[in-house]
Chain A
Amino acid sequence: QSAATQPASVSGSPGQSITISCTGTSSDVGAYKYVSWYQQYPGKAPKLIIYEVSNRPSGVSDRFSGSKSGNTASLTISELQAEDEADYYCSSHTSTHTRVFGTGTKVTVL
């Protein structure tokens, strides 16, 4: 099972919006609503920020939103803030009952 593809880096200025893509296949991202997104700071464990494509856990800022079209899921961060500078990973269920992560995206706030 290959990792889903994410851009290695995305940057934006404070207040701008950015979008991170997560491209998988018809056997994972394209097949299920079980796509989730995680935020990770250096030296820390990942934290869930979006589940089931577009749902936010309690306590996660509404500046984070998710969507999916075909084999590609997307995470949008609006009103970018300095604290959003982190690594972001998507994850999906697969048709073989395994899981796959995206390659990861480093977000830089300019």
Chain B
Amino acid sequence: QVQLVQSGAEVRKPGASVKVSCKSVGYNPYYMHWVRQAPGQGLEWMGWISPHGGETKYAQNFQGRLTLARDTSITTDYMELSGLTSDDTAVYYCAKENLYYDLWGRGTLVTVSS
């Protein structure tokens, strides 16, 4: 049974970067997506990384600021977002895709505050 275990909450100042991890327990190669949810708002798709990490796709809103990476040796995915502003305060989820999101991490709260 695959589980997705995300790293803990982070606090950053405006202009900084944040890196969130998502470890797959019971690993099999699959596409991993990242989705965020600002307080009281809806789900926003951010991007995906291919099963072996060789390909990525980002939402236009995050082009140039978002980097997705995968370390297959430790079955861990990473989401790094740079140039943070208060608008990036949100819960960030990793989600396994099998043409649909059948497994989600519990989410990581990222707070951007001066």
Contact = CB atoms under 8 A, between A and B. Distances in A.
Interface of A: 1, 3, 34, 36, 38, 40, 45-48, 51-52, 57, 89, 91, 93, 97-104
Interface residues of B, number: 20
Contacts of B106: 45
Main secondary structure of the interface of A (DSSP, over half): strand
24 contacts: A1-B59, A3-B42, A34-B100, A36-B100, A45-B105, A45-B106, A46-B43, A46-B93, A46-B101, A48-B100, A48-B101, A51-B100, A52-B99, A57-B102, A91-B100, A98-B45, A99-B33, A99-B45, A99-B48, A100-B45, A101-B35, A101-B42, A101-B43, A103-B42
A101 B101 CA distance: 12
A100 to B, nearest CB: 6
Contacts of A36: 100-101
A51 B104 contact: no
A79 B43 CA distance: 27
Given A48-B101, A51-B100, A102-B42, 4 more contacts: A45-B93, A45-B106, A51-B102, A93-B99
Interface string B75-106: 00000000000000000010100011110111
Nearest to A3: B42
A1 B57 CA distance: 13
B44 interface: yes
Contacts of A89: 42-43
Contact of A104 (B43, B59, B105, B107): B43
Nearest to A48: B102
A85 B43 CA distance: 18
